[in-house]
Amino acid sequence: MKFVCLLALFGAALAAPNKKLFPTTGKEWTPDSLVNPEELGDFFEGDIMLPLPKMDKNGLLDEKYRWPNGVVSYDFSSQFSDSQKANVRGSMDEYESMTNGCITFVERTDESDYVHFTQDDNQGCYSYVGKVGGSQTINYPQWCLDRHGSTLHEMLHALGFYHEQSRFDRDDYVTIMWENIESGMQKTRFRIKVVSEFIS
């Protein structure tokens, strides 16, 4: 009888999802987690603030959502340490290098349209897509700042890009095996539908 009780207890322990490996919030995320922290927010696809502007392919169509001359002004909330600012600035430098200077980031002086970096640990990593006008937030809680890929990822949204798995033509190139996506994570795998107004 003791063996049966021990076996039942062992089985129950295995049945519960491991919060360390499969967190459901950003605060539960660790470097050992099997999900990306940017997938854990309560936003569209985990990390995109709405409203969604018009898009074509994987990027924005309307020029009003583009940063003029590829120049993105930014500032930091007071929560960022100098080393955290340097970490984010390193991601900016990487984009500038990868685009041969077509994209540049400049510290804000008096620009009316700019990215404001925040560090709200009660929210997930998130960004708007493209330039939305005025102050627009990119939020980097600590668990996003710890991952270079996450800082790059959110900046790419602000530059006007959606997730690749959401491209309207995604199904022409890949097959999503929905049965292999963990229950509850399907929300990060939507496909943007094409409507005629997206095409110029």
Q: Please state the residue numbers annotated as binding site.
A: 153, 157, 163
β-strands 71-76, 114-118: how paired? parallel
- 154 noted as active-site residue: yes
Please name the helix (run of DSSP H) or strand (run of DSSP E) that holds residue 92, with its range, or none: helix 82-98
Question: What does the alpha-carbon distance between residue 13 and residue 51 come to, in Å, rounded to a whole number?
Answer: 42
Question: What does the alpha-carbon distance between residue 123 and residue 111 come to, in Å, rounded to a whole number?
Answer: 26
Q: Which residues are annotated as a binding site for Zn(2+)?
A: 153, 157, 163
Q: Of residues 45, 154, 179, 182, which has the active-site annotation? A: 154
For every residue of 17-29, DSSP letters joined together read --TTTS-SSGGG-
Helix then strand count (H, E) for the chain reads 4, 7
Residues identified as active-site: 154
